[in-house]
Amino acid sequence: MKVLVPIKRVIDYNVKARVKPDNSGVDLTNVKMAMNPFCEIAVEEAIRLKEAGTATEVVVVTIGAKASQEQLRTALALGADKAIHVETEQNLESIHIAKLLAKVVEQESPELVILGKQSIDSDNNQTGQMLAALTNRGQGTFASKVVIENDKVNVTREVDGGLQTVALNLPAIVTTDLRLNEPRYASLPNIMKAKRKPLEVIAADSLGVDLAPRIELVSVEEPAKRSGGIIVEDVAQLVEKLKTEAKVI
């Protein structure tokens, strides 16, 4: 079966985001960018399905500016077969991304789409669910285990209070949680090989999706700063402070 993996270029997860002084957004100039960590897990899962002989082809897709082709090449170096770049300079929202991805799903007809559960920049946690809705497929979100059996996929989900397993009819949509797998690194020869793998570019405007904004970003601010704390000498002083000063115990 064919597996489609949508990925996103985001700020590197180790970088602390800085708010622009004019409060118009987060400053991303000269900031290290990378593949969203949950997307790496999605790519890894697709490649493992291919190595297990379950998947026949792994297609990666990203939506964004030209620079995001870098992350597609990374995915190709990790083992994806083909990449699709839906190119746009516009900052899109989850609903737009889901609609564009639905077009790609229509074009590629994958039996399984694996996405990350959320991107670490907008922290929305929406796209996979929206894509499942728009393509009328079952969804297995926050997956920590994915098992394909005949025409079904069993997804073990990380839910509040424990784990829940659901069975989805294929074709289906899965979103990855952190513990699904440990992504591999790309080897140098594979990085070289990835440069020759096919990368199709589609203009986002050509897909017939209304990309008018649904959300206006009014401002972006720094979170309230915590006032500087103190270092206590020992446990006795700590307990004393918590009792008399902070009054929390």
Partner 1 sequence: MKTLVIAEHDNGALKPETSKTINAAKKLGFDVDVLLAGINLGAMSESLASIEGVANVLLADNAVYEHQLAESMTDLVLSLADSYSHIVASATTTGKNFMPRVAALLDVAQISEIIDVIDTDTFKRPIYAGNAIATVKSLDSKKVITVRASSFDLQGEQAPANVTAVDAVSDSQLSSFVSVEQTESERPELTAADVVISGGRGMQNGENFALLNGIADKLGAAIGASRAAVDAGFVPNDMQVGQTGKIVAPNLYIAVGISGAIQHLAGMKDSKVIVAINKDPDAPIFQVADYGLVADLFDVLPQLEQAL
Cis peptide before 171 (omega within 30 of 0): yes
Residue among 56, 169, 187, 206 that touches partner 1 (CB under 8 A): 169
> Partners of 145 in the beta sheet?
156
CB of 6 vs partner 1, minimal distance in Å: 14
Contact status: 213 vs partner 1 (CB under 8 A): yes
Residue among 7, 126, 148, 202 that touches partner 1 (CB under 8 A): 126
Residue among 77, 132, 146, 148 that touches partner 1 (CB under 8 A): 132
Judged by CB, which is closer to partner 1: 105, or 130? 130
Structure tokens given for 1: 């079966």
Pairing of strands 172-176, 112-116: parallel
HSE (side-chain half, CA atoms, 13 Å) at 120? 19
Contact status: 129 vs partner 1 (CB under 8 A): yes
CB of 8 vs partner 1, minimal distance in Å: 14
CB of 15 vs partner 1, minimal distance in Å: 9
Judged by CB, which is closer to partner 1: 136, or 189? 136
Q: Amino acid identity, residue 63? A: I
Contact status: 114 vs partner 1 (CB under 8 A): no
CB-CB contact of 82 with 56 (8 Å): no
Per CB under 8 A, which of residues 135..164 are in contact with partner 1? 136-142, 144, 154, 157-164
Residue among 127, 180, 181, 202 that touches partner 1 (CB under 8 A): 127
HSE (side-chain half, CA atoms, 13 Å) at 221? 5
Judged by CB, which is closer to partner 1: 81, or 93? 93
Report the SS3 class of residue 63.
Answer: strand
27-33-35 Cα angle (round to 5): 135
CB-CB contact of 204 with 211 (8 Å): yes
Residue among 52, 67, 215, 244 that touches partner 1 (CB under 8 A): 215
Per CB under 8 A, which of residues 75..104 are in contact with partner 1? 93-95, 98
H or E element at residue 146? strand 138-149
CB of 26 vs partner 1, minimal distance in Å: 5
Cis peptide before 37 (omega within 30 of 0): no
Per CB under 8 A, which of residues 3..22 are in contact with partner 1? 11, 13-14, 16-17, 19
Sequence-ordered list of residues with C-beta below 8 angstroms from that of 59, at least 6 positions apart, any chain: 2, 3, 4, 5, 80, 81, 82, 83, 84, 108, 110
H or E element at residue 39? helix 37-51
**Which stretch, 50-58, 68-76, 131-139, 198-206, contacts partner 1 (CB under 8 A)?**
131-139
Residue among 53, 189, 208, 229 that touches partner 1 (CB under 8 A): 229
